[in-house]
Amino acid sequence: MNIKKAREDTPCENIYFNHASTSIPPIPVIEASEDYYRMAMRYGATSKKAEELTAIRYNAAKQKMAEFINADQEEIMFLPNGTVGIHIVAQGMQWKEGQNIILDSMSFISNTVPWIQAAKTYGLEIRWIPSKLPGILDIQNMENLIDKNTALICVTHAANSLGVLQDIEKIGEIASKYQIPYCVDAAGSLGAVSLDVEKIKCDFLTASGRKYLRGPSGTGVLYVKKEKIVQLNGWVAAWNSGVWDCNKNDFSFYDDIQRFNYGEKNYPGIFGIAKAVEYIDEIGGIFEIENRIIELMEYLFNKLKEIKEIEIIGPQDVFCRRGTMGLTMNKKTCGEIADYLNHNGVGMMGHHFFCPGVCRLFGIEGTARISLHYWNTEEEIDQLIILLSQIV
């Protein structure tokens, strides 16, 4: 992996360990977003020339994202964030009263509240997949929750306060076995781990662009399996999401992925997120990124274990994580740890992270979260350890 290039392209003056929240786009991603405005300035944003160039870049972006997750470009929709993608599925499913949704009990608020809202609106039941120590979903008991009224299974690949990768392929096999639509929230893993929607067997997958993918803020992606597109109701009745018959005073959504359009697109963000995917290959590819993150996580784990006052929350095996871990410390709250580290030049967060299921499972108020990425260094980890040693 070309770490030298990654560091040069990321001239951050801070030690930054908060990629699970928002990572830092490398310079080429920022420049790609700027390309849109340079083009708009040169030709005029909605001149024929600019619209043609924008369409070329937009279609190329869809193709790059599709290839990245082994999908078809006609199954890809760019959105403002991953949360919107979850809402599109939650509000778009053609629910029937009395159906149930099986949800991950350790999910972030964005992958719980949309389903709770749908349940209240349509008379559905929420069934929670139990979690068990050291922070994994109880897949065997999940299967026991399934019955003839189960309409959807939705899980988070990696809870943002814990960072443990759940076995989404195994869950996909179970969903496929019972022919139940399956949704995956990959906000905490896209860009840190290889994802293949065919292997996962998911019908829907959502993710943010700003996290481990290192894309611009205000970007996200929704994957919808082609045969499932028309089974979701359209989202926003807009000029680019369907057809308005003004004579009949009627509007009908398109039958393809365009039914999820919402008016003007964030083209600067789309240019940037496309470059973020391309950049992964430029520095060595997603598998090299995975290996580098594991290498850094192992180094971090070994260093943290030398401080007896620190408890690492969740599995002690680094191979079941991709960059994120939470810790607690005797006599210090997670907020106090975060305040101290940030005051001393280490960007990170201490919080409950809107994951009450994780807090209940471990009996904690929250975690001081360290989330690494491939361009971080062992020297930065050493500085973190020095600071943690000073406040125990």
| Domain at 262, CATH number | 3.40.640.10
| Per-residue pLDDT at 372 | 97
For position 295, which CATH number holds?
Answer: 3.90.1150.10
Residues 6+ apart with CB under 8 A from 247: none
One-letter-per-residue 3-state SS of 340-364: HHHHCCEECEEECCCCHHHHHHHCC
Regarding whether 137 and 64 lie in a shared domain, the answer is yes
Average pLDDT of the residues in 233-250: 96
| Per-residue pLDDT at 88 | 98
Instruction: Report yes or no: 250 and 62 within 8 Å, Cβ to Cβ.
Output: no
Q: Using CA atoms, how far apart are residues 69 and 280, in angstroms rounded to an integer? A: 13
**151-178: b (≥16 Cβ within 10 Å) or e:** bbbbbbbbbbbbbbbbebeebbebbeee
Which whole-number Å values give the CA distances from 199 to 8, 136, 183, 194, in the listed order?
35, 20, 13, 11
Regarding whether 164 and 94 lie in a shared domain, the answer is yes
Name the token pair of 64. 């790059």
**93-121: b (≥16 Cβ within 10 Å) or e:** bebeeebbbbbbbbbbebbbbbbeebbee
Helix pair angle (48-69, 267-282), 10° resolution: 40
- In the chain, the number of structural domains is 2
Percentage of the chain lying above the pLDDT 70 cut: 100
Residue 279: burial class (beta carbons within 10 Å; 0-12, 13-18, 19+): buried
Instruction: Residue 25: name the closest of 154, 183, 210 by CA.
Output: 210
Residue 330: domain span: 3-22+285-391
Regarding whether 14 and 34 lie in a shared domain, the answer is no
Instruction: Report yes or no: 125 and 139 within 8 Å, Cβ to Cβ.
Output: no
Regarding whether 197 and 182 lie in a shared domain, the answer is yes
CB neighbours of residue 125 within 10 Å = 13
Residues 6+ apart with CB under 8 A from 385: 303, 304, 306, 307
Name the token pair of 380. 């930065």
Q: Whole-prediction pTM value?
A: 0.97
Regarding whether 354 and 208 lie in a shared domain, the answer is no
Regarding whether 249 and 357 lie in a shared domain, the answer is no
Domain stops at, among 248, 264, 282: 282
pLDDT (tens digit per residue) in 67-78: 999 999 999 999
| Per-residue pLDDT at 120 | 98
Q: Using CA atoms, how far apart are residues 83 and 85, in angstroms rounded to an integer? A: 5
| Per-residue pLDDT at 207 | 98
What does the DSSP 8-state code read for residue 233? P
Instruction: Report yes or no: 211 and 187 within 8 Å, Cβ to Cβ.
Output: yes
CB neighbours of residue 39 within 10 Å = 19
pLDDT (tens digit per residue) in 290-324: 999 999 999 999 999 999 999 999 998 898 998 99
**E strand segments, 225-309:** 242-245, 250-253
Q: Using CA atoms, how far apart are residues 312 and 324, in angstroms rounded to an integer? A: 11
Regarding whether 119 and 228 lie in a shared domain, the answer is yes
In the chain, what is the straight-line distance between the N-terminal and C-terminal CA atoms, in Å?
35
Instruction: Residue 35: name the closest of 58, 68, 66 by CA.
Output: 58
Percentage of the chain lying above the pLDDT 90 cut: 97
Regarding whether 122 and 53 lie in a shared domain, the answer is yes
Residue 245 backbone phi and psi in degrees, to 5? -95, 95
Average pLDDT of the residues in 212-222: 98
Torsion, CA 145, CA 146, CA 152, CA 155, rounded to 10: 40
Domain stops at, among 265, 282, 299: 282
| Per-residue pLDDT at 392 | 84
Regarding whether 316 and 193 lie in a shared domain, the answer is no
pLDDT band at 110 (very low <50, low <70, confident <90, very high): very high
Average pLDDT, rounded, for the chain: 97
Domain stops at, among 282, 314, 333: 282
Regarding whether 338 and 245 lie in a shared domain, the answer is no
Regarding whether 233 and 193 lie in a shared domain, the answer is yes
Q: In what order do the strands lie in the sheet with 310-313?
A: 310-313, 324-329, 367-371, 349-351
Residue 176, pLDDT > 90, answer yes
pLDDT (tens digit per residue) in 33-84: 999 999 999 999 999 999 999 999 999 999 999 999 999 999 999 999 999 9
Residues 6+ apart with CB under 8 A from 326: 161, 162, 163, 312, 313, 314, 334, 358, 366, 367, 368, 369, 370
Regarding whether 172 and 108 lie in a shared domain, the answer is yes
